[in-house]
Amino acid sequence: MVKLVKVTLVHSEWCHFCPAAKSLWRDLKDKYDFDYNEVELDTPEGKELAQKFKIRSIPTTIIDDKIAFVGVPDRDKASNVVT
């Protein structure tokens, strides 16, 4: 059985860059098979992730329990991680 890459996007409603990051990851999710989750920063889960990974800015993309991207990822680099 192939283990799916786990992508978590930490975002917030007040973030100007987050919609672009969400759009990018949702597009990639339509094309590729990976586990995708969006977590609002101002929730208990979001605060827990921010503390665990020492997140200082958003959007932050966590892939397989490591910070992979801060800000909106480059599409090609993001694609390479999930394929």
Per-residue pLDDT of the chain (83 residues), as tens digits, is 668 999 999 999 999 999 999 999 999 999 999 999 999 999 999 999 999 999 999 999 999 999 999 999 999 999 999 98
Q: What is the pTM of this model?
A: 0.95
Amino acid identity at 27: D
Q: Check if the beta carbon of residue 57 is closer than 8 Å to that of residue 11.
A: no
Please name the residues in contact with 59: beta carbons below 8 A apart, sequence gap of 6 or more.
Answer: 9, 10, 11, 15, 17, 18, 21, 22, 69, 70, 71, 72
